[in-house]
Amino acid sequence: MIPEQWYAVLDSRELPRRRPVGVRRLGRELVFWRRADGVSCAADRCAHRGAALSAGELTDDRLRCPFHGFEYDARGRCRLIPANGRAAEVPERFQLRTLPAREREGLVFVWLGGGAPDPPEPPFFDELCGRRWGGFQESWPVHYSRAIENQLDLAHLPFVHRTTIGRAGRTLVEGPRCRIEADRLLVWFDNARDRGVPPRDAAELGPPTGPPLLSFRFPNLWWNRIGDRFGVFAAFAPVDDENTMIYLRFYQSIVRLPPFRRLFNFFANLYNRRILRQDRRVVVTQRPRRSSLASDEMLIAADKPIVLYRRRRAELQRQQP
């Protein structure tokens, strides 16, 4: 993982208002619950006897352990030990390990870091804020870096997706033109048919015009802008070193009336699910399971977005205190 980052880890719809939810994310067992003014996240383990707090219940904004009724506030501080009585002072050692949590654009984010979140709120793609979407989620038995790199791979389309988005057989990758801006990786590229002429490199193509086709925002958000009116978004939530939950969304502004919009999104995501499962069939076979800048893979010019991703990821990891 890259410390000192906001990670999207849940779809907001997975977190109901009246009960806590336990999930494995970032290699940890975590419990999430809603408060009147936000979302809380803590280690899913009572400080008393280690019971799973996700099996408990909510009382007002507090999380109540199912074993002995200990109650924890939004910051993980125990406020009541029933066996000692309501008038008794609770020792400070009864404290849960917590992670700052925020909700934005229908996703729950947690801050993986030692200090106060910086920035204080999770980043997102500004062009998607407030737009309508339809989506689904899918679990992959891979490290999240492999799932991300698959969506930055420009040469796999005519082979992995030869019956869907790669059926045109455009095997040449021209460019690609890529750059890092702050913690955002931007990619412009063109796929063309092989007619016996080498693909043009970035210098031959010149500076890109218009918005990038692919955008990746560290640590785990991806956006494929297919056109002015639609595209595909994904959040790659790390479960642990060998599993990732992918939250995929289809954004569109073509169909606006709610019943028809839902139907349109439904069929679009049937197609997107098929595409994602074509990817999954190959990505689960990759070794080693985790990618790295020091990998012995022999990369090619079309892999430039992957190289930049690995390089920036390694830089961010080295910068942490």
Q: Mean pLDDT across the chain, nearest whole number? A: 96
More confident residue, 67 or 1: 67
Residue reference for tokens 């719809």: 13
Q: How far is residue 255's CA from residue 176's CA, in Å, rounded to a whole number?
A: 32
Q: If DSSP codes are grouped into helix, strand and coil, which group holds residue 259?
A: helix
More confident residue, 234 or 209: 234
**Residue 115 binned pLDDT confidence (cut-offs 50, 70, 90):** confident
Tens-place pLDDT, residues 145-200 = 999 999 999 999 999 999 999 999 999 999 999 999 989 999 999 999 999 999 99
Across residues 98-122, what is the average pLDDT?
95
- Residue closest to 28 by CA, chosen among 55, 12, 9: 9
Bridge partner residues of 248 (DSSP): 136, 234
Q: How far is residue 42's CA from residue 72's CA, in Å, rounded to a whole number?
A: 10
Across residues 241-245, what is the average pLDDT?
97
Structural domains of the chain sorted by starting position, each given as residue range(s) with its CATH number in brackets: 5-112 (2.102.10.10), 126-319 (3.90.380.10)
Q: Is the pLDDT of residue 26 over 90?
A: yes
pLDDT of residue 268: 96
The beta-strand segments (E) located in 26-83 are 28-35, 38-43, 57-59, 62-64, 71-72, 78-80
Q: Are strands 172-181 and 184-192 parallel, antiparallel or unpaired?
A: antiparallel
Q: How far is residue 209's CA from residue 226's CA, in Å, rounded to a whole number?
A: 15
Share of the chain above pLDDT 90, in %: 94
Q: How far is residue 117's CA from residue 99's CA, in Å, rounded to a whole number?
A: 10
**pTM of the prediction?**
0.95
